[in-house]
Every structure is written in structure tokens, then in C-alpha cells.
Structure 1
Amino acid sequence: MTRLEKHRRAGVLAATVAAGVLGIAAPAAADVTVSPPSVPQGSGQNLSFRVTNTARSPITRVKLVLPTDLPVAEVYPLSVPDWAPQIQGRKLETPLPSIHDGTPVTETTGSITWIAMPGKALPPGKSADLTVAIGPMPSTGASMSFTVQPTYADPAKGAPMPPVALALTPGDGTTGHSGHGGTTTDTDADAATFAALAEAADKGPGFWTIAGWVVAALAVAGAAIAILRSRRRPAAGAPPAEEENKQLVAAGAPRVTAWSYKDGPEE
């Protein structure tokens, strides 16, 4: 083996070792995380999913798909600035007790899609915190895996996001609700907290909100009609339209009428 070959092999070995060290020391940045990272089984929680755009195109939508193997009875998106949530439900094969009073539910949230408001898409390098109220958490399993599906303004410059895992820790026997087998000590406080979160969840515009929009629209329309009518009124001291027409006819000008088309012949 010549001296040149020895130097080449030494250089290749050094480069390989350096690449391995750098690969271990610099793991890929996570696109989405959940806080808190672990919750007790059977509890009601407020989860925050932090989505970071590591692609080269703004994110216009974020879809969170809940696991089907460990369903949760109640899942509500909470209010987030610049994002509007949409809920897609799914039927449950086996009814689950709710966290409020233990009443079984046969349908739950299958996914939540947050839509960015116009001009508020998530730019590259920025993060958004999307929160949900969820409970009661599954009483079995060590973790839950949530799928995150981003939509990019330019799909060619987008990138998929890995699923995010939420650890489930054993409950202490007081996180359930008295309506479905729990105690009435810490249980009531947990249920009351979750109830407040659920009440604050965005479940679409209510009746009075829609009524307010209708009233506002009618007010705007009324104002527009009033402005148009005021523009059509003759100025003070101006001759009536019929008198003006007579003057024009007398002067040899063609007759001006209020309509450009009539069904019958002119009288």
C-alpha cells in the first residue's frame, strides 16, 4: 500500500467518524410537540400542540387526527387567535362515558382542522399553539399517537410532519367522575375544570351571533339604499323632471323618459 493510499483511507475514515458524530449531536428538529407531554389516565386535560413550520412555504391549514385505537369521549378545540377550527366527528363502535356526568356518547371528534385567517398563514420558521380540551383520557395504554397533517400554500415546498406522542401515566383513582366510577373529592374539581374548558371551546357560531350578523347586514343594506335615494333626489330649486322634459321638447331636443324600455307603446 502506497503512502498516498494510506492518506486517502485515513481521510475517508475521519470523514465517516465526523459525519457519525454530527448525526448524533444534531438530531432533526421536531415539527410538532404537545404540552404537557404526559397526562394521567382517566383525567380531563387542556392540551397544547405547538406546530413549527420547518418547510419553505406558509402553512394555511393544520389537521389533527385523533387515534382510533384509543378514542376519547369529548374533544373540543379552544379559541386560538388567527385560526378557525373545524370539527369532523366519527361514530364510536362502543359508547364512552363523558366527563361531565358519565352519560355515554356514541359519537366523538375524529379530527380537528385549524384554518388560518386571510393573511395569517404560518410562515416558515414560526410556530403556532393549537389547544384542545380533551377527556376523559383512556384508562388503558401507555401513550396516544396524534397525526398532524399540514397544508401548505405551495405544496411543492411543503414537508410532512411526524406524529406526536402523548404519554399516559397510571391514574391515582381520583381522576374519574363520580358518574362513572370515580370518587367525589378531586373528581368534582377535575370535572368542573374540564366543563369550563368545554364551554369555552369553539363549536361554531351560536344563534345570537348569527342574528347579529343578519342585523348588521340589514343595517348596511339600509344605509346603502338611503345613500342611493339621496343621490337621486333633485337639488333644491331644480325644475321637476317632467317640466325639464317639456323644456327640452320645446327646444327641439329628444324626449327624456325615466325608462329606456317599455312593454307597451307610448301614449
Structure 2
Amino acid sequence: MSFLPRARRVGAIASLATVSVIGLATAASAHVTVNPKTAEQGSYAKVAFRVPNERDDASTTELVVNLPADHPLSSVSVRPLPGWTAKVEKSKLPKPVKTDGGELTEAVTKITWTGGKIESGQFQEFDVSMGPLPTDTDQLVFKADQTYSDGEVVKWEEAPAEGAAEPEHPSPALKLLPKGSGDATGLTAQVKPVAAKSSVSSDDGTARLLGGIGIAVGVIGIAVGAYGLNRARSRA
């Protein structure tokens, strides 16, 4: 008599685990990120700002990416994206920066994409070619604003900290590896890059894996519950 309630509890716990894991997978893939995650100091690279729409009742209609003025980039260009218009803004640097091409007094500090839509359950990638990447820092942080069709603006501007938990709205960050490092991905030669397909983020693979695990756990839970129910009925 006591087996039936126990089976129901097992099934309920398994179903709850399924919902929790799928929710975790969704949250893990909902941030605005830069892909690939790493590049080599001193190189030119093509990166993609990946923007998922995490809202069920609104579409994403604008993306603003702020480039770090403390580590200015002398060469920045955007890849045309059908349906979207990119506006590239330059700013005067507070202090000139010496580069191989001479003294840099202004640099691109903001890129704004408008005109298109990212619907619920979809994502878009906005490609930017940039370089040469600085050699005096181990990461570049890009603060981003994501605007929805209902007027809400989500600011992805919390800088990630080494060893700390991920903030609620982390900024897209590009980790810079030492020159000659074999671990860097998505790199180009030491010349201005030719546009290429962006690497697939490991975040998406992790999210899919977690979602698959959750679904498998749920299926097992349902099977256990059904077995318990059938066994209880056969005993009755």
C-alpha cells in the first residue's frame, strides 16, 4: 500500500529535476556573449556578439555594444547584416595612444544595430572585425544594451571577476592570451582579417547537454512512477 505514494514521490522529484535542469540550460544561454571567447594579444580577430531573445512577449529590436576606451582599437569594421543597420561612432581619446601606424587620437567606442528583430526563441550574431588587440591586458570587456520592442532595456554591464560567481547581467568579455599561445581560437593572421564564420560557443553546447540530461531524468521518473502505479494496482 505504501509503494504507490513512494512511486508518485519519485516521479514528482524526477519531473521537478527535469524542469530545473532545463531552466538552468535556458539561463546559461540567455546572456549576450562574444564568440569566440578567446583571442591572441596583438592580433586581428573577427568576433560575433551573440544575442538571444529571452522574452516570450517581446522581440529584440536594438543592440548597442560599447568598446573599451581604455584599450582603444585602431581598426574596427562591421559585417553587413540583412535587415539591420549598423551605426559606428568614434570618440576622442582622453590620451593619445601610440600604434604601429602612428599616434591614435580617436577610436570607435560604440556600435549600434537597429532595424531588425530577434523573435522569441531565436538569436542573432553581429560580426565585428577588430585589431590589433592590446598586449597590456588579459581581457576586453564590452558593455552592451539590449532593447526590446516594449521599450525595456537590459544592460549587460557587470564585469566578470576571476574566481567569483557570474553576475546577473555579465558583460560580454574577450579573454586575451599571450602572443604565440596555442590555446587561442578564432584568430586571424597579423593583417586585417577576411570575414569568416564564427566559432560555436561552448555555452550553447553546455546548455544543450544540460537540457538533454534533464529530459532523460524526467523520462526515467515517469517510467518509475508508471511501474509503481501498475505494481500497486496488480497488488490491489
Shorter-chain TM-score tier: 0.5 to 0.7
* Map 1:25-104 → 2, pairs under 5 A: 26=24, 28-29=27-28, 30-55=30-55, 56-97=57-98, 102-104=101-103
The TM-score with structure 2 as length reference comes to 0.58
Query: Of Structure 1 and Structure 2, which has the larger fraction of its residues in helix?
Result: 1
- State how far apart, in whole Å, the 2-side matches of 1:132 and 1:85 are: 11
Amino acid at match of 1:33: T
Verify: 1:146 aligned to 2:145, yes or no: no
Amino acid at match of 2:39: V
The TM-score with structure 1 as length reference comes to 0.52
User: Which residue does the alignment assign to 2:114?
Assistant: 115
Query: Of Structure 1 and Structure 2, which has the larger fraction of its residues in strand?
Result: 2
Name the SS of the counterpart of 1:113 in structure 2: strand
CA deviation map 1:42-87 (0-9, x unaligned) = 1111111111111231111100011233222222222112111001
Amino acid at match of 1:110: T
- State how far apart, in whole Å, the 2-side matches of 1:46 and 1:102 are: 20
- Residues 75 and 130 of structure 2 are in contact (CA less than 8 Å); yes or no, is this contact kept in structure 1? yes
Amino acid at match of 1:108: A
Amino acid at match of 2:61: T
Name the SS of the counterpart of 1:131 in structure 2: strand
Verify: 1:164 aligned to 2:172, yes or no: yes
User: Which residue does the alignment assign to 2:161?
Assistant: none
- Residues 39 and 168 of structure 1 are in contact (CA less than 8 Å); yes or no, is this contact kept in structure 2? yes
- Greater radius of gyration (CA): 1
- Residues 41 and 170 of structure 1 are in contact (CA less than 8 Å); yes or no, is this contact kept in structure 2? yes
- State how far apart, in whole Å, the 2-side matches of 1:134 and 1:53 are: 25
Structure 1 residue 160: Cα displacement: 4.1
Structure 1 residue 26: Cα displacement: 2.2
CA deviation map 1:124-145 (0-9, x unaligned) = 2211110111101011111111
Amino acid at match of 1:144: L
Amino acid at match of 1:53: N
- Residues 143 and 172 of structure 2 are in contact (CA less than 8 Å); yes or no, is this contact kept in structure 1? yes
Amino acid at match of 1:172: G
Structure 1 residue 97: Cα displacement: 4.7
- State how far apart, in whole Å, the 1-side matches of 2:190 and 2:81 are: 23
- State how far apart, in whole Å, the 2-side matches of 1:93 and 1:145 are: 19
Query: Please, which runs of 5 or more residues in structure 2 have no aligned partner?
Result: 1-12, 157-168, 182-187, 196-236
Name the SS of the counterpart of 2:48 in structure 1: strand
- State how far apart, in whole Å, the 1-side matches of 2:94 and 2:128 are: 23
- State how far apart, in whole Å, the 2-side matches of 1:122 and 1:159 are: 14
Percent identical pairs in the alignment equals 31
- Residues 143 and 155 of structure 2 are in contact (CA less than 8 Å); yes or no, is this contact kept in structure 1? no
Name the SS of the counterpart of 1:190 in structure 2: coil
Q: How large is the Cα RMSD of the aligned pairs?
A: 3.1
* Map 1:137-216 → 2, pairs under 5 A: 137-156=133-152, 159-161=154-156, 162=169, 163-172=171-180, 190-191=190-191, 193-194=192-193
- Residues 73 and 96 of structure 1 are in contact (CA less than 8 Å); yes or no, is this contact kept in structure 2? no
User: Which residue does the alignment assign to 2:202?
Assistant: none
Using a 3 Å threshold, how does the CA distance of structure 1 residues 136 and 71 change in structure 2: closer, same or farther?
A: same
Q: How many residues align?
A: 160
Structure 1 residue 105: Cα displacement: 2.1
Amino acid at match of 2:69: T
- Residues 43 and 136 of structure 1 are in contact (CA less than 8 Å); yes or no, is this contact kept in structure 2? yes
Higher RCO structure (Cα 8 Å, ≥6 apart)? 2
User: Which residue does the alignment assign to 2:221?
Assistant: none
Query: Please, which runs of 5 or more residues in structure 1 have no aligned partner?
Result: 1-14, 174-186, 198-267
Name the SS of the counterpart of 1:26 in structure 2: helix
Name the SS of the counterpart of 2:118 in structure 1: coil
